Structure 1
Amino acid sequence: MELKNAVAVVTGANRGLGRHLAAQLVERGATVYAAARRPETVDLPGVVPLRLDVTDEEAIQEAARIASDTTLLVNNAGISTATPLIAGSPDAVRLEMDTNFFGPLAVTRAFAPVIESNGGGSVLNVLSVLSWLHPAALGSYAAAKAAAWALTDAAREELAPRGITVSGLYVGYMDTDMAAGVPAEQKADPAEVAAQALAGIEAGLPEILADETTRYVKRSLAASPNAA
């Protein structure tokens, strides 16, 4: 997909990776709706702030009505509550599923007709190495991202006849607020991850693997799980 003159909606664009994605899209000549639950927190020059809460169906439909010229949707908004599945709060588990799976699903369902009506385009889902690797301490996040992986693959097949390509971005820990408390030795630069993501969209890649950890885990998917 050619990003120059594209019209993009980036969810969670007020900080972290989403902010970098929005900024780099502007640099590449795209029109960008920078979506956030609180659009007043969007401070990027050259973007159009857009109110969009991915857990609010009414807000999603209104955003799709306003951004009716969209050709690229970036499902970036997400949360991590560091909640285990068995011992953790059921409410926290549901919140992660609502935000990280049902949210992108609802936004994609709302914007797919918009993108199709504008001649086709692309959807990028920001996923995680934890779509494939499922540590117990982050069980709810991993489960939601695994579901979003399935969403990405299924939507790719379903939307292809409508002229819409669907890509998944997979990355480990990034140097953002979400991973600030994670004692990872090396975190990816979100600006570099954003650049890889946009290059992958332009190349039409179905999967964009943004760091060596993610590439290693992907190669290891056929291995047997470790015995408990």
Structure 2
Amino acid sequence: MKIAGRTALVTGANRGFGRHLAAELLARGATVYAGARNPDTVDLPGVTPVRLDITDPASVAAAAELAGDVTLLVNNAGSGTGADLLDADPAKVRLEMETHYFGTLEMVRAFAPRIAANGGGTVLNVLSALSWFALPDVGAYSAAKSAEWALTNALRAQLAGRGVRVAGLHVGYMDTDMTAGLDVPKSDPAEIARIAVDGIESDRYEIVADDTARRVLAGLSGGVAALYPDLP
């Protein structure tokens, strides 16, 4: 899928990785809608801000009406509550699932028919290395991203015959606000945005963007013992 001349919607585009994605798409000649819960926080010149809360079906429906010419949907909006599964506030656990799983699903259900009607295109779901590997301290996020990965696989098969390609981006830590308090190696989000858009242009179904994601992917075939060697 060539980006030049396409119309894209990026969710969570007011900051962090979403803003870098929107900038990369603009640089390659796309028309870009920038979704954010508060469109006044979108400060990237050249994009069209769109009020969008992916956890609110009415907001998603309104965005689909406004941005009905989209042929590329990037589901980037997310949450990072830091919730574990046993002791955290259950509302935080539910928020992770409402955002990453149900919010992404709501967006695809609203936009996939429009993409198909516009001649076909692509949906990119921004996943994570934690789609494949769970860290107990953020178990709610890992579980929601794993569910979003399963959603991506199912929708990919269901939409393939309708001219809508569904891709997933797997990446480890990026240097954004969400990871500001973590003392870990981090990728440059601008570079990951470039890799992601390269993957879209190459029609790749699975975009594994950094060494962390590649290591976790390689460990999947080894099962629990390979992924969690410290278990007794």
TM-score > 0.5, shorter chain as reference: yes
Count, aligned residues: 227
Identity of aligned residues (%): 57
The correspondence of residues 91-170 of structure 1 with structure 2, limited to 5 A, is: 91-170=91-170
CA distance in 1, matches of 2:217, 2:189: 20
Residues 8-87 of structure 1 mapped to structure 2, 5 A cutoff: 8-87=8-87
> What displacement does 1:53 show?
0.3
Cα deviation for residue 223 of structure 1 reads 1.6
Aligned residue runs from structure 1 range 200-215, under 5 A: 200-215=199-214
CA distance in 2 between counterparts of 1:57 and 1:182 reads: 33
Q: Distance in 2 between matches of 1:131 and 1:181?
A: 21
Mapped to 1, the partners of 2:135 and 2:174 lie a distance apart of 17
**Cα offset, 1:224, TM superposition:** 3.1
Counterpart Cα distance in 1 of 2:183 and 2:96: 22
RMSD: 0.7
- The 2-side partners of 1:222 and 1:196 are apart by 25
Structure 2 match to 1:224: 223
- 1:176 shift after superposition: 0.1
Aligned-partner residue type, residue 128 of structure 1:
S
SS in 1 for 2:65: helix
| Equivalent-residue separation in structure 2 for 1:44 and 1:130 (angstroms) | 29
Deviations 1:106-143 (A, max 9, x none): 00100001101100000000000000010110100000
Q: 1:182-215 deviations in whole A, cap 9, x for unaligned?
A: 121x100000000000000000111111111110
Gaps of 5+ in 2: none
State the SS of the aligned residue for 1:220: helix
Aligned-partner Cα distance in 2 for 1:45–1:158: 36
Gaps of 5+ in 1: none
Runs of 4+ in structure 1 displaced over 3 angstroms?
none
